[in-house]
Amino acid sequence: MLFSDITILDEFFEEQKHMYVGVEGKTISYIGSTRPEKDFGEEYDGTGKLLMSAFYNAHAHSPMMLMRGYGENLALSDWLNTRIFPFEDKLYSDAVYYATLLAMAESLRFGIVSTSDMYYFCEDMVRAVADSGAKANISRSITSFTEGSVKNADSYREAVALAENCHGAADGRILVDASIHAEYTNTEQSILDVAEYASLYGLNMHVHISETREEHEECRQRHGGRTPVQLFCDLGAFDTRTTAAHCVWITDEDRQIFAEKNVTVASCPVSNLKLASGIADIPALLEKGINVAIGTDSVASNNSLNFIEEMKFFALLNKVKHYDPTLVTPRQTLKAATRAGAVSQGREDCGLLKEGNRADLIVLDLSVPHMKPVHDLATNLVYSASGSDVLLTMCDGNVLYRDGEFLSIDIEKAVAETENACAKILESLA
């Protein structure tokens, strides 16, 4: 495909007008201000449109699509114990498959091509992502509340099978990550075991860290003053490439460890507001050179996968946290939503509109009234754009969403089957 006479946001997030971008196979193979001589097949008229890197969602639980809007206005423990856990107890394979497929549809509609997705029923998730044409780093998250090795638990066996069967599946679109769910849901032994599994299979690690103040403080009490970050580091959890979600309550020492161990922080600003967890200190992370990406968390605590909206929350919250309107710029935000997420997933050739990189691209409508006038395009993208301005989403060179149509997903079936699964589970809970 040749995107012709289109505005682009280049690898430095600067606007360049009247550009030509050629995609060949999975790759961006031409970017220039003149029409290429080569034939790239279909020509896409870029008038009034923007081409930029697609988004990478660095923390999510896609199957929780089933629980969007289920269990609202509740304290965290009530939310988990009276709504989420009983509902999750009734999940089944097809429910997870279709819920994940619907999550992929919503992701593509909002410009997300790849998701770091932690849950269970992972082989159903793999199937859904593979069928959707999108990418995901999928992890079977491990919890363990009893002493001793976790290696005999079903969850660990599932994680091993997942690594063996699915890592690199769907032509590399599916990667398998290791996942220690969190400090408060694991023992020191199970943390050691999962870290060992990650090293053994060469997997990235994906964890929840210091999401709530209670989690952070109770860890210190349980573990001789060590924070979750310090404990995880001591137990080798960061010895492969790691993404740590939330990190609302981490300390300066924790940030130092992240910098040294190249840990990515996946900040989930909307979910952290909705569950009343707090506001992660993004400027303190950026100052240390830490890779900061953005996650939606699940739609049960968001309740959408609207990544443009998520960027706005990400960019705005720290201004009030520190009473300083100069903090977290649009370009820092765009980088977090694109390149930083790709890096966190170990997809080094993704997340930048650059020749030779993967063609994970989105087209946005610049002709809509809410994107006018333009004093600075990056600013308009972060603060003025609407999620629905995404007109086209391409993953590895394949157009998966375009002008309201899902080209890889039977959206009516995905919706109907997800609704059926909800009804079935609610009935079994009644």
Task: Give the residue with the Cβ less far from a second copy, 259 or 284.
Answer: 284
**Residue 398 binds a second copy, judged by CB under 8 A:** no
Q: Angle CA(265)–CA(270)–CA(274) in degrees, nearest 5?
A: 120
Tokens at 321, concatenated: 């946290």
Continuous H helices in 24-147: 76-78, 85-88, 93-109, 122-132
**Residue 112 binds a second copy, judged by CB under 8 A:** no
Residues of span 143-202 touching a second copy by CB under 8 A: none
Continuous H helices in 292-376: 307-321, 330-337, 339-344
> Which of these ranges, 72-80, 333-341, 342-350, 356-364, lies near a second copy under the rule CB under 8 A?
72-80
Q: How far is the CB of 275 from a second copy (least distance, A)?
A: 6
Rounded to whole angstroms, the Cα distance separating 197 from 74 reads: 36
**Amino acid at the residue 105:** A
Q: How far is the CB of 92 from a second copy (least distance, A)?
A: 16
Closest CA to 121 of 86, 145, 94: 94
**Residue 306 binds a second copy, judged by CB under 8 A:** yes
**Residue 111 binds a second copy, judged by CB under 8 A:** no
Closest CA to 142 of 133, 153, 131, 127: 153
Kindly determine how many residues on this chain lie close enough to bind a second copy according to the rule CB under 8 A: 70
Q: How far is the CB of 283 from a second copy (least distance, A)?
A: 12
Question: Residues for the chain: how many in total?
Answer: 430
**Amino acid at the residue 370:** H
Do residues 197 and 160 make contact, with C-beta atoms less than 8 angstroms apart?
A: yes
> Which of these ranges, 19-27, 49-57, 197-205, 311-319, lies near a second copy under the rule CB under 8 A?
311-319
Tokens at 403, concatenated: 């002008």
**Residue 284 binds a second copy, judged by CB under 8 A:** no
**Residue 317 binds a second copy, judged by CB under 8 A:** yes
Residue of 15, 297, 309, 396 that binds a second copy (CB under 8 A): 309
**Residue 66 binds a second copy, judged by CB under 8 A:** yes
Residues of span 74-93 touching a second copy by CB under 8 A: 74-76, 79
Residue 417's H or E segment, with its range, is helix 411-429
Residue 414's H or E segment, with its range, is helix 411-429
- In the stretch 349-368, what mask flags binding to a second copy with x, by CB under 8 A? -------------------x
**Residue 407 binds a second copy, judged by CB under 8 A:** no
Pairing type for strands 43-45 and 2-9 reads parallel
**Residue 279 binds a second copy, judged by CB under 8 A:** yes
**Amino acid at the residue 184:** Y
Task: Give the residue with the Cβ less far from a second copy, 160 or 391.
Answer: 391
Q: What is the 3-state secondary structure (H, E, C) of 201-247?
A: HCCCEEEEECCCHHHHHHHHHHCCCCCHHHHHHHCCCCCCCEEEEEC
> Which of these ranges, 9-17, 35-43, 251-259, 270-278, lies near a second copy under the rule CB under 8 A?
270-278
Which spans of this chain sit near a second copy (rule: CB under 8 A)? Answer: 65-70, 72-76, 79, 102, 105-106, 109-110, 213, 270, 272-279, 299, 302-306, 309, 312-313, 316-317, 319-320, 322-326, 329-330, 368-370, 372-376, 379-380, 383-389, 411, 414-415, 418-419, 422
